[in-house]
Structure 1
Amino acid sequence: MSNGAHIKPTDLRGILKYVPRFQGQIFIIAIDGSIVADDNIPNLLTDIAVLRSLGIKVVIVHGIGQQIVELAKIRNIAITDAIGTGVADAATLDLAIRASSRVTHLVIEGLTANALKAALTNAVRAMPFGIIKGVDHQFTGRVDRIDKDFFQQLITSGVVPVVNPIGFDRDGKPLRINSDALAAELAEAMQATKIIYLTPNQGLEINGKLQHNIPVDALRRLLETKPESINEPMRSKAEQAIKAIDNGTPRIHLIDGREPEGLLAEIFSNEGVGTLIHGNEYQQIRKATKRDVRAIYNLTRSGMKREELRARSQQSIEKTIDQFYVFEIDENLIACISLTLYPEDAKVAEIGSLYVMPFYGNRGIGKKMVDFACMRAGELGVTKVIALSTQAFSFFTSVCGFEEADKDVLPESRLKAYEESGRNSKVLAKKI
């Protein structure tokens, strides 16, 4: 995306459909020191300029681990810690300050080349780690307070704040902070909707296999029971991701900062290129039980009358109740959806009977139900989800990412039922 000659109209259309969702939101972009040193950094900073041009607010945090190690080697100085979590003695702190200055300069230089205003601030107050298990961590610090009003003023003025991993205590003395933890603290303070960690790795791997998305609870269990199954460079970021989600940041991305166009591909596509760690945004959705049959029938009856939904009797719903999921608020069913698998084609599933109580319309519940059903289908090995609609097809295409398809995509048994129904529904499909 950094080279205008490579931008295709389809790329632009793909990006623009996400703009209303992200406009005005704050993204914390955390760049490892090794990525600032990589040849791809000019492309990344250009992509950040694209985000700003689309109305997305950005705060940049950078690390300095690689730069400290290199500086220590050049000057033949022994350091006690490179990443900001161990003991930082005076010599290590001095190198950290020098490395931070150089890396911040490179970031601001790149932002300036993309016509963006940028500023380094003293808006992060730190406090010493102190003595932990008998070990004095000396000049290693952690975040004490973030002046979020100061950051907000800069962002409102069109300035990109650049935050390096050096904080100041109450007396103005510098302390070395781990940049991963700093990004998580900034996200909480600024109520960011994403942290994007740009790393020298593809993403989070479990037993050597890249995970494109993982719920935070599953990741938490892994770290508690089998931390060795996670690729070592990602464990620190995984721990910070859990803390950030627990403190209100809904989505954390771990992506390879060396990959051209990787940042935009991760944000503006369903598939992404790295790992998405997400909170449990589906906690109000559960599998239906036989006790829900009558409530589902009553919920969908008005949709059937208006021919928005295919007619189903209460007995029909009861027979297929294992296919239904419901959205519950205060023990009241306010939405439902079905997910049907086809024995003759295990790679295809159909979502249907999507209905949201009108009172709860325009709150994103319908999309959440569809997203959940697609996620569940993917877990079952499905690669294509289909939907048939007579009236809500624009919702599926413009909001949920489906595309109109030929009826031939339907499994044989479903195609026969489709032709016999005479409803002439539009056939919609989505790859997952």
Structure 2
Amino acid sequence: MLTEPDPALQDEETAHQAQFVDWLRSVAPYIHAFRDKTFVVAFGGELVAAGGLDSLIQDVALLCAMGMHIVLVHGSRPQVEEQMRLRHIESHFAQQLRITDAAALEAVKEAAGELRLDIEASISQGLPNTPMGNARISVVSGNFVTGRPVGVVDGVDFQHTGVVRKVDAESIRLSLSNGKIVLLSPLGFSPTGQSFNLTMEDVASSAAIALRADKLIFITEIPGVLNEYNELQRELTLEDAQRMQSQGTIDRESAFYLKYATRACRAGVGRAHIVPFSLDGSMLLELFSHDGVGTMISYENLESLREATIDDVGGILQLIEPLEADGTLVRRGRHQLERDIDHFSVIEHDGRLFGCAALYPYPSERIGEMACLTVDPEAQGSGDGERLLKHIEQRARARGLERLFVLTTRTEHWFLKRGFVKAGVDDLPADRRRLYNWQRRSLVLIKKL
């Protein structure tokens, strides 16, 4: 006997499918923007010790499949400590660096060698029905990093501890262009055949600078950069980051990562990110969502609220089309948008539009209409709508307008909370009153400026 499908289950499946399609469409602009870009992804040995290596490699494989060039840099601090314990060697540190004598250097080599093999094995996975299925990714490692000794600093001889002297960017680029992942260990070699223990952060930032990478991503044991109130700083300009460092208001671990992130940005790396490995998929969430989950450092403020140009028409159409489809906004064609583009203001973040609004003035009656206020669903709740409203109010005042009105069918309460009051169609300027759509029966709300 055939049973009828459960309508509730069908509705749930339909909703899930719609959610998946919406998500995929929302990340498409990032995929387009990141294709053929070079990312240096650095992670500490703490991530491996916590069992997060396979998940990270799966995320890296996904980035490779989307056309991004990946350089991986691994650390090995807990693994080195384990090797030191096995060899009954005491660790010594100064100025946040390990003092590496000959015995400690052997422990460093052993730890780095084991980790490199584990990472290469994880990249080589290809089990079906897993994220690595059909991945077929090759990894290349080698003597890409030349090091030199730290030397004697403030009376402390760091012995085999080193810093990066040079990164062989040309060889790395050749490997990346052939579709390989390049793996760098925290070891450097001198022309005389000496080995040096380097920090993962130094190797990663030096590689990002040498490659002119688009992004440097640190996947760390910390949640990101926290301010003195223990609040996560999701976005910092280079100036902000340097100020936090000079004020000494952040913890030692954050300051250490921030030192190398700002170094890379000062030298021309587009963005540096500090994200937590405790959150599964944190790198993907940081790259493919508006607010991210960690801290991003950039040379300058990535978000701007500005007047629209003709080049913004496509982005505005993408923002407003879903609201036109559900009847929230009146339909506007591309031709009308191009004609009215001087009336629009937009919020842009990292090259993508996340909000827009338009001002249509009626100077003879000292009133203006704010129309088409739209914020991308991904950015809602971040205050972008309020920023657009204030910007439109400023534009209206600059034009000598004394009042602002909106016509709305869905967002009455949002405007009422922001100083608008209910009015009638007769309160509209004469030219706008003649165009009022009685079928939509939009509410009229007016605010004194």
User: Considering the TM-score relative to the shorter chain, is it more than 0.5?
Assistant: yes
- Show the 5 A alignment for 1:236-385: 236-281=256-301, 306-310=339-343, 337=345, 351-352=357-358
Which residue among 139, 143, 146 is the counterpart of 2:160?
139
How much does 1:112 deviate?
Answer: 0.9
C-alpha change, 1:82 and 1:94, in structure 2 (3 Å) is: farther
% identity of equivalent residues: 24
How much does 1:86 deviate?
Answer: 3.9
- Show the 5 A alignment for 1:70-85: 70-81=82-93, 85=97
Which residue among 124, 138, 145 is the counterpart of 1:112?
124
1:1-49 C-alpha deviation (Å, 9 max, x unpaired): xxxx999333322322211111110010001110022222211110100
AA in 1 matched with 2:272: I
C-alpha change, 1:102 and 1:255, in structure 2 (3 Å) is: same
Aligned mates of 1:166, 1:86 — CA distance in 2:
13
The farther-off stretch of 45-54 and 274-283 is 274-283
Which residue among 99, 105, 127 is the counterpart of 2:111?
99
Aligned mates of 1:137, 1:60 — CA distance in 2:
26
Contact 1:128 1:141 in 2 (8 A): yes
AA in 2 matched with 1:213: E
C-alpha change, 1:286 and 1:171, in structure 2 (3 Å) is: farther
Aligned mates of 2:305, 2:160 — CA distance in 1:
47
Contact 1:36 1:107 in 2 (8 A): no
C-alpha change, 1:139 and 1:415, in structure 2 (3 Å) is: farther
2:255 is matched with: 235
- Quick check: which has more Rg, 1 or 2? 2
1:125-162 C-alpha deviation (Å, 9 max, x unpaired): 11111222232221111111111110011111111000
- Is 1:17 equivalent to 2:29 in the alignment? yes
1:326-346 C-alpha deviation (Å, 9 max, x unpaired): xxxxxxxxxx9589xxxxxxx
Contact 1:80 1:92 in 2 (8 A): no
C-alpha change, 1:84 and 1:127, in structure 2 (3 Å) is: farther
Contact 2:56 2:281 in 1 (8 A): yes
Which residue among 232, 239, 246 is the counterpart of 1:224?
246
Contact 1:68 1:82 in 2 (8 A): no
Aligned mates of 1:82, 1:118 — CA distance in 2:
34
Aligned mates of 1:305, 1:35 — CA distance in 2:
50
Aligned mates of 2:256, 2:69 — CA distance in 1:
26
C-alpha change, 1:283 and 1:38, in structure 2 (3 Å) is: closer
- SS of 1:143's equivalent in the other structure is strand
The number of aligned residues is: 337
- SS of 1:43's equivalent in the other structure is helix
How much does 1:305 deviate?
Answer: 10
Contact 1:143 1:185 in 2 (8 A): yes
How much does 1:82 deviate?
Answer: 9.8
How much does 1:285 deviate?
Answer: 9.0
- SS of 1:306's equivalent in the other structure is helix
- Show the 5 A alignment for 1:137-176: 137-176=158-197
1:211-242 C-alpha deviation (Å, 9 max, x unpaired): 212222112112112x2x21322111011111
List gaps (5 residues or longer) in structure 2: 1-15, 126-131, 308-335, 348-354, 361-374, 393-408, 438-449
C-alpha change, 1:57 and 1:415, in structure 2 (3 Å) is: farther
2:372 is matched with: none
The farther-off stretch of 130-139 and 94-103 is 130-139
AA in 1 matched with 2:66: L
1:212 is matched with: 234
How much does 1:251 deviate?
Answer: 1.1
Aligned mates of 2:212, 2:118 — CA distance in 1:
27
Contact 1:69 1:82 in 2 (8 A): no
- SS of 1:206's equivalent in the other structure is coil
2:415 is matched with: 411
Aligned mates of 2:338, 2:303 — CA distance in 1:
30
State the Cα RMSD in Å. Answer: 3.9
Aligned mates of 1:423, 1:173 — CA distance in 2:
80
Higher RCO structure (Cα 8 Å, ≥6 apart):
1
1:345 is matched with: none
C-alpha change, 1:83 and 1:162, in structure 2 (3 Å) is: farther
Which residue among 40, 55, 62 is the counterpart of 2:74?
62
2:210 is matched with: 189
C-alpha change, 1:415 and 1:13, in structure 2 (3 Å) is: farther
C-alpha change, 1:408 and 1:172, in structure 2 (3 Å) is: farther
Aligned mates of 2:147, 2:265 — CA distance in 1:
22
AA in 1 matched with 2:26: G
AA in 2 matched with 1:411: F
List gaps (5 residues or longer) in structure 1: 288-302, 311-335, 340-348, 355-369, 390-404, 425-432
Aligned mates of 2:200, 2:78 — CA distance in 1:
13
